[in-house]
């Protein structure tokens, strides 16, 4: 049975969601509290936001997007997308996904479409758990390529326990949990050729993090944007440089691209990416008004309304972290690392203002 909000308690949902990947870096307890308010909003929004299915979809010969299902009423936290480029001799995998069962399903789907080829190279788009924690389940050794900043953050990641806990549709329990160090870093761009397919790896950072990579296939006008793109899912800004992110989206909108595979949400195109940028713009202007009025970030987050974007998956959950991040931008104190303490304090104020009991 799929994990949905219907068969989970709210407490379960909180635990499985924000804490789901079990990282001791990157996810603060502050993020968890506000998640509770998201369900009512999601329920109201069901007519506007689509549901999408898990699928391996061939977009061009040898080019596949792997989309994990989601949408209103589904488990969306920690559920990301990947992809593969199948060459004459080997496969490039784009992101390893996160939880063990998700990753094993991805690997099985790869073996189904390209049964006899080695997965010899992995491109990791950024250091967040839902994109890197699947690495131990891929056949090693493989070349693992990422941005320099991403590698540094991956190596700094620690875990509360060395094994995964049993959890439906997430982990059988007991699978090993560790970081597989990347073998190759880039800080600008690289081009690979898989047969005649040109595969450009582009740095588009700082955006969602300070080490975001995307994969561009110019012949097919396809962009694997990873977390540069969140479609129908509220962008997650806790390591972001949000204004730079918007500027980078403008650059992507100027590229020769028809199809965009986001890190979260269904396959889309420039229209979806432009819409996501509008979310960031609306958020910025709402946060700015309150920053200028001297309001604290927690109180501001509790007040901020995003219009139609309030219906996006996780919109309520991300109010605090995104406000904290914009406040740092306005104050000139933005750093690559998330502000765990700032998020924690803002969450306390947010919860008090919204009347949420933890």
Residue 174 CA to residue 195 CA, distance in Å, equals: 39
Count Cβ atoms below 10 Å from residue 108 Cβ, excluding itself.
10
Please say which residue, 62 or 70, places its beta carbon nearer to Zn ion: 70
- Residue whose C-alpha is closest to residue 129's, from 20, 41, 259: 20
Smallest gap from Cβ 169 to Zn ion, in A, equals: 18
Q: Answer for the pair 229, 276: CB distance below 8 angstroms, yes or no.
A: yes
How far is the first Cα of the chain from the last one, in angstroms, to the nearest whole number? 28
Q: Answer for the pair 293, 257: CB distance below 8 angstroms, yes or no.
A: no
Interface residue list for Zn ion (CB under 5 A)? 80, 128, 130, 227, 263
Please say which residue, 286 or 317, places its beta carbon nearer to Zn ion: 317
Please say which residue, 65 or 86, places its beta carbon nearer to Zn ion: 65
Residue 81 CA to residue 106 CA, distance in Å, equals: 10
Per DSSP, helices labelled H in 64-218 are: 100-113, 129-132, 148-155
Please say which residue, 82 or 87, places its beta carbon nearer to Zn ion: 82
Smallest gap from Cβ 21 to Zn ion, in A, equals: 10
Smallest gap from Cβ 49 to Zn ion, in A, equals: 18
Smallest gap from Cβ 352 to Zn ion, in A, equals: 29
Please say which residue, 127 or 128, places its beta carbon nearer to Zn ion: 128
Please say which residue, 49 or 97, places its beta carbon nearer to Zn ion: 97
Largest CA distance in the chain: 61
- Name, in order, each residue with C-beta under 8 angstroms of 301's C-beta and a sequence gap of 6 or more: 34, 319, 320, 322, 323, 324, 346, 350
Please say which residue, 70 or 263, places its beta carbon nearer to Zn ion: 263
Smallest gap from Cβ 125 to Zn ion, in A, equals: 8
Smallest gap from Cβ 264 to Zn ion, in A, equals: 6
Residue 344 CA to residue 321 CA, distance in Å, equals: 9
Q: In the structure, how many helices (H) and strands (E) does the chain have?
A: 11, 12
- Residue whose C-alpha is closest to residue 279's, from 231, 238, 329: 231
Smallest gap from Cβ 105 to Zn ion, in A, equals: 17
Smallest gap from Cβ 236 to Zn ion, in A, equals: 7
Residue 223: C-alpha distances to residues 83, 160, 182, 330 (Å): 11, 35, 22, 31
Please say which residue, 212 or 227, places its beta carbon nearer to Zn ion: 227
């Amino acid at each position: 049975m799929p994990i949905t909000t219907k068969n989970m308690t709210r407490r379960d949902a909180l635990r499985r969601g924000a804490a789901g990947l079990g990282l001791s870096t990157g996810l603060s307890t502050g993020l968890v509290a506000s998640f509770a308010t998201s369900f009512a909003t999601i329920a109201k929004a069901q007519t506007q936001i689509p549901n999408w299915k898990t699928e391996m979809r061939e977009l061009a010969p040898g080019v596949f997007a792997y989309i994990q299902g989601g949408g209103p009423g589904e488990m969306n936290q920690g559920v990301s997308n990947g992809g593969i480029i199948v060459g004459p001799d080997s496969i490039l995998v784009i992101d390893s996904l996160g939880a063990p069962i998700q990753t094993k399903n991805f690997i099985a789907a790869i073996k189904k479409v390209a049964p006899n080829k080695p997965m010899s190279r992995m491109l990791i788009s950024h250091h967040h758990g839902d994109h890197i924690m699947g690495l131990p389940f891929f056949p090693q050794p493989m070349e693992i390529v990422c941005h320099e900043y991403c590698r540094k953050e991956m190596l700094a990641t620690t875990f509360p326990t060395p094994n995964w806990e049993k959890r439906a549709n997430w982990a059988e329990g007991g699978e090993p949990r560790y970081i597989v160090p990347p073998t190759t870093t880039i800080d600008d761009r690289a081009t690979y050729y898989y047969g005649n397919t040109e595969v450009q790896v582009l740095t588009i950072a700082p955006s969602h993090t300070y080490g975001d990579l995307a994969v561009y296939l110019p012949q097919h006008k396809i962009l694997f944007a990873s977390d540069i793109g969140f479609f129908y899912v509220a962008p997650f800004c806790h390591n972001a440089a949000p204004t730079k992110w918007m500027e980078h989206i403008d650059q992507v909108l100027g590229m020769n691209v028809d199809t965009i595979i986001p890190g979260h949400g269904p396959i889309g195109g420039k229209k979806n990416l432009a819409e996501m940028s509008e979310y960031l713009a609306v958020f910025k202007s709402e946060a700015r008004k309150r920053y200028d009025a001297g309001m604290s970030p927690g109180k501001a987050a509790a007040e901020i309304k995003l219009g139609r974007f309030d219906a996006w998956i996780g919109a309520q959950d991300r109010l605090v972290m995104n406000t904290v991040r914009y406040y740092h931008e306005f104050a000139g104190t933005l750093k690559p690392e998330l502000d765990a303490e700032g998020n924690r304090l803002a969450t306390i104020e947010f919860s008090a203002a919204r009347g949420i009991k933890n």
